[in-house]
Amino acid sequence: MNPTEMRSLIPALGLPEYWYPALPESSVPRKRPTGLKIMGEEIAFFRDKDGTVTAIADVCPHRGGSLRRGDCHYPGTIACPYHGWVFDARGECVAVLSEGPDSRIPGKVRGRIFPTRTLKGMVFVWMGTGTPAPIQEDVPPEFFEGEDTVVMTATRYWPVNWRVALENALDSHVMYVHRNALLQLMEPILQFGPAGYRPRIVNGRAALGYIPADQAPRPAREYYPGVDGYWPKSQWRRLWLWAFAWRLRRRATRPPFNPDEEWGMHTFIDGQRVRSGGHHLPSMFRFDFGTHMYTRACVPVDEQLTRVIYYHAVRRRTAVGRALARLFFVGFQNWAMNANFSDQDYRVMAPQRYDTPEKLSGTDAEVIAWRRLLLSARGMPARTDLGAIDELRDDSIAGLGPGPRPR
């Protein structure tokens, strides 16, 4: 199966048999419901008697009223604004306020409840119809750590399909699209040639892209004979790069944020750790920056809209350190990474097509590995025609015609 055929089989509304981030717990009021759409499903959120956030389908089983526009008259319940059908945290109708206490409906009607779990202030929702999978398989491990680990979040909306938003994360575009982003201006432009990142699938849940230790970066500025010119056109960033060299040294020498390959986004080649980035099911991209762990979770809203939720995880031993980390995120990092940097992605992706023939190159290998992983995901039909991971390095599979594998 070629990569374009793989692309066409990935569900446009996402993979339902997974846990997804929904919204911050703080955004769910104590005495009224709220709601949002995930994977085409309208969901209402309210709190049970213990204050835990509960999720119920935002449609009253009676005649389709919107529960998110209703009320929470009684602790642990949500009432439809139309006829006052009241549902508890189990989804059971417990009263019909428009019919009186002797109504025959209570105990006979239920709304659909979506299992939820609140971790470090973020509400996660199980979108599947089967028994929920262990949440640790779908949610980064830093959400399960103690108070020394702080996970700060930010949310943005991109009017693109979730598949486009995810495939953008790790390919050769970074040094071109982001060349003038503030964070990128602090680092040299590194090109790795037509071979690009090499893919590796870990535990059937993550697709990593890494640069082998023996694949040295290309010069920061090279001559392109097809245009009779150099790229980058100038070398003015060299005037200040020396001042930020310490950032690269610190990143290279720090231990991985997470020790395992699957979540830590690193791999081992001949016993040597190679830092990398990559995708994780159901819809995340992760990168270990050394000082913090970066995650971009792309949650499908519908086929044309994606809710992008960023996780910025750090570890600080003291309350003062954690407070300073939050201040730095709010005052600088959130804008620098999630707005200044990532909005450059958005501007490129917004008009991008996802239904045209593709002519791929070796630098798309990690993207192809991600597509292959998606087609093997939980809840997807079993397939035997996806090919081995090493075939992803073959130019003929990349759509360029027969040719030698990049070395």
- In a shared domain, residues 98 and 152: no
The predicted structure's pLDDT at residue 243: 72
The predicted structure's pLDDT at residue 391: 46
Q: How many domains does the chain have?
A: 2
pTM of the shown model: 0.89
Q: Which residues form the domain of 362?
A: 141-393
3-class SS at 23? strand
The predicted structure's pLDDT at residue 392: 47
Chosen domain end from 83, 98, 124: 124
- In a shared domain, residues 214 and 303: yes
The predicted structure's pLDDT at residue 219: 77
Structural domain includes residue 134: no
- In a shared domain, residues 290 and 369: yes
- In a shared domain, residues 257 and 380: yes
The predicted structure's pLDDT at residue 406: 32
pLDDT digits (tens, 9 = 90+) for 11-29: 999 999 999 999 999 999 9
CA dist., res. 28 & res. 26, Å (int):
6
Q: Assess whether the previous peptide bond of 232 is cis (omega < 30° from 0).
A: yes
Domain harbouring 227, CATH code:
3.90.380.10
The predicted structure's pLDDT at residue 192: 64
The predicted structure's pLDDT at residue 191: 66
C-alpha count within 13 angstroms, C-beta hemisphere, residue 107: 4
- In a shared domain, residues 364 and 219: yes
Strands (E), 195-334: 198-202, 206-210, 222-224, 229-231, 266-269, 272-280, 284-288, 293-302, 305-315
Structural domain includes residue 341: yes
Domain harbouring 31, CATH code:
2.102.10.10
Residue ranges in the chain whose pLDDT is less than 50: 390-407
Q: Taking the CA atoms of 2, 172, 160 and 157 in sequence, report the sign of the dihedral they define.
A: positive
- In a shared domain, residues 166 and 79: no
The predicted structure's pLDDT at residue 132: 97
Decide the pairing of beta strands 305-315 and 149-158: antiparallel
Tell me if 215 sits within 8 A of 195, measured CB to CB: yes
